Structure 1
Amino acid sequence: MSVHFSAEDFDYPVRELKLGKPESQEWKLFVDKNQIKVYAWLDKETGLFQWKVFGEIEYEPEVVKKTLMDVDYRKKWDSYVAKIEMLESNNNLDIIYWDVKYGIPMVSNRDYVYCREFREVKGEEEEDEYIVILSKTYDSGKELVPPHKNKVRVEGFKQFMVLKKSKNGTKIYMHSIDRPGGKIPSSLINWAAKSGIPNYLGVVAKACQNCPK
């Protein structure tokens, strides 16, 4: 598999986790409660928000990592998953097919073919260790899963995630970029994201309780 992520892709989310907020002041604080902060930035080109989440989960980083990355376990805890499967895997780089129930009545499922890579990154201090998980649309001339006529294939998806051990469990950072396509009004997409994004860490934390060892 070719290289899909740059050194900066791995570095910048670590910087922001350490900072505790976005580096750019263009991001506006949207939610600040229960030790979770959600920042939003409106992409004027698409009319869609991007989101950055800072929070903490009361489980060890390895448990959180497995909960997030175990494809078979995700089928059990993520109610929006219609189908998810590993297409290719090589060391720390995976290619995954993901069929998502979009959560809006009468709206077709969205499906993704995306690559995911994780890396353990050392910080400046000896005790600083970060687990960085990067995902984005798999861009290749090789069509691994043909588009389905009843689903909308998503392009332009990116997600940057960082985990770091803390006194209470794991500090977590997520930057999410999603362009679900189709003819859904951007206002409806933004409304759905506003409803779901702040609750995401709670869903992950609950899933960590029953994560298989």
Structure 2
Amino acid sequence: MCQFPMRSSVFIRRAKSAVWGAAALWTVAASCTSAYRGLKPASGDPACIQRFKPALGTALYKTEVDADNHPLSGLLVLKAMPDSSTRVVFTSETGLTFFDFAFAADGTFTVHHIIDQMNKKALIKTLRKDFELVLLKHTTQGRVLTKGHELFYAFPQEKGTNYYITDSACTRLDRIEKASKRRAVVTAWMMDYREGVPDSVSIVHHIKLLVKKIPFTIALKRIPS
């Protein structure tokens, strides 16, 4: 994977702090019983979480992808297209395109471009699932569960379940978890919404990526237009 220097950034440091804190909690949970064992059915409408779906026109983010302590930094554009698809393009600050993905409204995924160093099936699949998670793809058939003071909006996937976790009134998105039967394998945060678009996004993986177990995080900070 290519490496580029990343200038000091408060949001990256905070994102990594949150990420590793969550990873520590996950490790404890993973050694015990299922993290979702105590969930109980609750009343509510699964469609409630659509209010947290990014209301994209065009959003530009300062971005760092860190795999095994090898940071790749640049700019990421999320853009709603006229055909209702969403384009996700990640470039270096000098203009090199790392990848260019399209997510169609019908669920179709297209790789328009990806550099050779990143052109690995497992990595592409991982990035696809990450962006589908934060773009709230595959969230039409779900159910509402509760635990403590939180609501878990559960959407079954081909493998596992995506949980969108809110406060008891569904007014605040606390976190997102892509989970197996026992534990979260990915945790994401979308914070500080402004005009329907999150100002920052953090994603952390808790499982093996590309065979070996390595730290893998994505941190985005929106650049004002």
**TM-score normalised by structure 2 residue count:** 0.27
Task: Give 1 or 2: higher helix fraction.
Answer: 1
**TM-score normalised by structure 1 residue count:** 0.28
